Every structure is written in C-alpha cells, then in structure tokens.
Amino acid sequence: MSDSTSSSILQEVQPQKPWVNRRQSVRELARPVGIAVLAASVIVLVTGLAGPLGFYLAFIVSFIVVSFIDGMRHDKVKAIDKVMTTLVTAGFATAFIPWASILFTVFQRGASAIYLGYFTHDMAYTSADDELGMGGLSHALVGSLLILLMASVIAIPFGVVTALYITEIKGKLSGVVRVIIQSMSGVPSIVAGLFVYAVVVSRYSFSGIAGALALSILMLPTVARTSEEVLKLVPDDLRSSAYALGASQMATTFRIVLPTARSGLITASMLGLARVAGETAPLILTAYYSAVYSLKITGQPLASLPMYIFQNFSTGTDTALTRAWGGAAVLLSFIFILFIIARVVGRGSRK
C-alpha cells in the first residue's frame, strides 16, 4: 500500500482540536469574571460585607448570577449548566480556603516557636510562659516516636495477618472479619482510650505502653484494610505457579505473596501511622503528659506531640499558644513525611 507516498504528495495535515479554543474560552471567562468582580466590589462597598471573605462571598454570588444571565443568551439548559459549573467549582474551591488557612497559620505561627534548641530541649526547667528561646519539645518528639513504634509493633503484624486471613486463607469468617474491621475503624478514639484506661491504667498507672495500646486499636483497621487491598493486587497466577512447584501455602505466602506486596504493605503501615500520629483524646486517658525527657515506657506518664500541643493550648497564654503552634508545625511535618514515604514507596510498587 502506498499511503506513505500518497501522504507525502498530499499537503501535510496537522492535528487540530477544534473543540479547544483557548482564546475564545478565556474571553468567555474573562467577561463574567470581570463583571462579577465589579459587582462584588459594589456589594462590599454598599453592604456590611467586609474583608477578603466578604468579597469572596459577594464574588461567588455575583458570578452565579452573571453566568446564569450569560447562559440565558443561549437557552435555559446552557444557563443551568453554567450555574452548576460555577457552583461545583465554588464548592471545591471554598473547601480549600480553610485548609490553606490551616496550613498557613500552623507554619507561620509555628515558625516563631521553632529554633534549633527546640528539638533538643524539654520543658523540665521551662514553664509554658517562659520566653520562646527556652525549652523545646524533644521529650514530646521522642515520646511520640516511642509510642508510635510500640503501636506499630502491635498493629502492623495483626493488621497484615488479618488481611492475610481474608485474601490467603479465605476462611469462612472472611466476611465477618471485614465487617469487624469496618466497625473497628469507627470506634471513637476516646472510647479506645477509655478501654485501655479501664484495663491497664486503672490498675497500674499512666504509661507509654498504655498509650501505644490505645493507638494500636485505632491503627489496626487502617493497616488491615489497606493491606487487604494490596494483597488482592498480587496476581493469582503467582500463587498457582508456586503451588504447581509443590510449595506449601505457608511457603507461598512468605516467599511469594508477602515479598511481592512488600512496598504496598509499607504504604499500608505508613498510612496507619499517619492516621494515629496526631491522636490526642486517647492519650489524655493513657500516656498522659510529662514535661521531662524520658525513655521509660512503663510506670510513669510519657509525653507526646499531640499532648504537648494540648497542654500548651490549655495554658492559654500567648507564648504557650505559640508553643502549641510550634508543636502543630512539627506534628504536621511529621505526618506529611509519613505520607510522602507512603506515596513514594507505593508508586514504586506499581511500576
């Protein structure tokens, strides 16, 4: 067939996208935006609405009206479509405003609390009211790490095993186990704290171990559910070929299934950790708080980042609140790092 020659004779045809007209869509957007900005300015000047939020609200309302009128030049269907596009976009954008505000406030206000010594000092000889250049959250950071480590030691194996029961053993109770895990993920964190208080703390004392127990209850369902998803992605062919080679189910699980899903399981663990790293309520009832750097996990309260924030918030003075923001910045960074690890490792597994 001579299509190469025929196309060289013909004028070269260029791919186009007639349905994408940047200039036209920009023009079509610019006019209503302009009118809406104008209208919003007038509304802010005339009525009691004020500030950036007032302007934003006035802008959204005017934009809805303008896009309806703009659409009506065609017909009602177009007008409704335009209004709904505005509403849907506004619904999404509006939800992002508070989140942006949270991130901004945490890091902006937190920055004034953070200095190099912040990560090496504790609050043993510093009160929450003292100047910001003194004291730190080393005790809370280390306490959090200890508690999370212990919680992982409990929750990750049990979470993965629970997932293995559903995907590998495929036992009669798989459905029930799944429902249990689902219900467990809905257990209020304070209830987990109460439970551990009743079982452990009321008999012995506040301790890091008690905090870890409470967090592991909250972590288990996340690990189990994410692991189940990951293990399901392991192709059945791999299992069949292992069996065909005469491998036992145990060998297949440990040598084939788990290594294949390894990075996914790491992701599951990181997501589980991120879920509980900021839990405060159960720690009030279990690990409680101590201002002193300590590695002792039994017999005495153990500090943690969320409790550090909570304590400083409860103190309520300006410097204490700044310390609370500083703790929030550290905690949020820690959670984001866990998240990024989960993402990077997870992406590696998909390739």
Partner 1 sequence: MENDDINLVVNATNTNAVTGGNVLDEGRVGTNGLQTKGIHVWFGKHHVLEDISLDFPANSVTGLIGPSGCGKSTFLRVLNRMHEFIPGAAMAGEVFLDGEEIYGPKVDVTAMRLKVGMVFQKPNPFPSMTIAENVLAGLKLANIKVQDKDSLLEECLTRAGLWKEVKDRLKLSGSSLSGGQQQRLCIARALAVKPKVLLMDEPCSALDPASTLKVEETIVQLSADMTIVVVTHNMQQAARVSDFCAFFLSDGGPGQVVEADRTAVIFSSPSDQRTADYVQGRFG
Partner 2 sequence: MSIATVEKPTAAEPPRRSITNQRNASDKRFRAVVTSGAMFAFVVLALIAGFLLFRGYEVFREFGFGFLTSSTWDSGTGESLQGASYGVAAMLVGSIIVALMAMIIALPFVIGTSLFLEYYIGKKIRAVLVSILDLMAAIPSIIYGLWGYLVLMPHAAGWASTINKYFGWIPIFKVDVKNFDASPFISALVLGLMIIPIASSVTREVYSRAPQDQISAAYALGGSRWGALKAVVLPFGRSGLIGGMLLGLGRALGETVAVLLTLNLVFKVKFQVLASAGGNVASLIASRFGEAGPSEIKALMAAGLVLFTLTLLVNFGASIIVSRSAKVSQ
Residue 250 in the binding site for partner 2 (CB under 8 A): yes
Residue 132 in the binding site for partner 2 (CB under 8 A): no
Choose among partner 2, partner 1, none what residue 246 binds, the Cβ cut-off being 5 to 8 Å by kind. none
Can you tell me which residue has the tokens 């939020």?
53
* Part in contact with partner 1 (CB under 8 A); list of ranges 4-12, 41-49, 216-224, 300-308: 4-12
Would you list the DSSP string of 238-264? HHHHHHHTT--HHHIIIIIIHHHTHHH
What part of residues 236-265 is at the interface with partner 1 (CB under 8 A)?
none
Nearer to partner 2, 111 or 161 (CB): 161
What part of residues 55-74 is at the interface with partner 1 (CB under 8 A)?
74
Near partner 1 by CB under 8 A: residue from 27, 31, 76, 347: 76
Distance CA 151, CA 174 (A): 25
Closest CA to 32 of 77, 63, 57, 76: 63
Distance CA 317, CA 320 (A): 5
Question: Smallest gap, in angstroms, from Cβ of residue 14 to partner 2?
Answer: 22
Near partner 2 by CB under 8 A: residue from 1, 10, 77, 244: 77
Distance CA 115, CA 132 (A): 9
User: Largest Cα–Cα distance in the chain?
Assistant: 91
Per rule CB under 8 A, count of chain residues that contact partner 1: 21
Contact predicate 330/114, CB 8 Å = yes
Would you list the DSSP string of 144-183? HHHHHHHHHHHHHHHHHHHHHIIIII--TTHHHHHHHHHH
Nearer to partner 1, 31 or 76 (CB): 76
Three-state DSSP at 121 gives coil
Residue 131 in the binding site for partner 1 (CB under 8 A): no
Question: Smallest gap, in angstroms, from Cβ of residue 332 to partner 2?
Answer: 6
Residue 344 in the binding site for partner 2 (CB under 8 A): no
Residue 8 in the binding site for partner 1 (CB under 8 A): no
Residues in the site for partner 1, rule: CB under 8 A?
Answer: 1-3, 6-7, 10, 13-19, 21, 24, 74-78, 80
